[in-house]
């Protein structure tokens, strides 16, 4: 263990006596040449970002979906009534009335859909 400590101490002493190395002049030329290239990159990126932002702002906004496209809530309610009627053993007359109401509702919905087009 003492041998390692002596070695480290001698190494530090010898390295301390050495002068710091001079970097290669070509290295500094390469660094200087690379820096302006990086600086020229950012304006192009900024221009591209501005163009994308302008395109997004100028795009036409789409309308919200129509109520008919969102879901036929009245038809769903009518279907639920039919399901409950079947589950509760409704009379044939009651089932017939519910089916006729559902058929009328689908006809009204189809008529309204044709008028909006």
Q: Dihedral sign for Cα 86, 88, 92, 97, please.
A: negative
Residues 56 and 73 occupy one common structural domain: no
The answer to whether residue 50 sits within a structural domain is: yes
Number of domains in the chain: 2
Residue 90: how many other CB atoms lie within 10 Å? 16
pLDDT digits (tens, 9 = 90+) for 36-90: 655 666 677 788 888 888 888 888 777 665 555 545 788 899 999 999 999 999 9
Report CA-CA distances (Å) from 99 to 34, 70, 89, 96, 113. 79, 23, 15, 5, 21
Residues 77 and 110 occupy one common structural domain: yes
The answer to whether residue 31 sits within a structural domain is: yes
Range of the domain at 111: 67-116
The answer to whether residue 106 sits within a structural domain is: yes
The answer to whether residue 111 sits within a structural domain is: yes
Residues 71 and 39 occupy one common structural domain: no
pLDDT at residue 70, as a whole number: 45
Cβ-Cβ contacts under 8 Å for 72 (sequence gap 6 or more): 109
Name the pTM for this structure. 0.39
Residues 76 and 111 occupy one common structural domain: yes
Which has the higher per-residue pLDDT, 6 or 30?
6
């Amino acid at each position: 263990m003492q041998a390692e400590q002596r070695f480290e101490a001698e190494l530090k002493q010898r390295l301390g006596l050495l002068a710091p190395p001079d970097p290669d002049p070509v290295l500094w030329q390469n660094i200087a040449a690379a820096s302006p290239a990086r600086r020229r990159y950012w304006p192009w990126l900024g221009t591209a970002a501005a163009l994308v932002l302008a395109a997004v702002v100028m795009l036409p906004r789409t309308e919200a979906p129509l109520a008919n496209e969102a879901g036929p809530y009245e038809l769903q309610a009518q279907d639920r009534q039919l399901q409950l009627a079947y589950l509760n053993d409704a009379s044939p007359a009651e089932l017939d009335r519910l089916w006729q109401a559902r058929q009328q509702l689908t006809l009204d919905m189809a008529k309204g859909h044709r008028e909006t087009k």
